[in-house]
Amino acid sequence: MQDHQAGQGPAPQLPERLHAVGPGWHPLLLRLHTQLSALQEDYQVDDVNERLGGLRVRITVPQPQCAEAEDLIHAAEERSGTTCEFCGATGRRRRRHDALYGWIKTVCDPCHVEWSRAPT
Cα dist. 7→10, 11, 15, 42, 103 in Å? 8, 10, 20, 15, 39
Q: What percent of the chain is predicted at pLDDT more than 90?
A: 76
pLDDT over 70 at 21, yes or no: yes
Per-residue pLDDT, 42: 87
Q: Give the whole-number percent of the chain exceeding pLDDT 70.
A: 88
pLDDT of residue 65: 62
- pLDDT tens for 96-117 read 999 999 999 999 999 999 999 9
| Exposure letters 2-23 (e unless 16+ CB within 10 A, then b) | eeeeeeeeebbbbeebeebbbe
The pTM of the full predicted model, rounded to 2 decimals, is 0.86
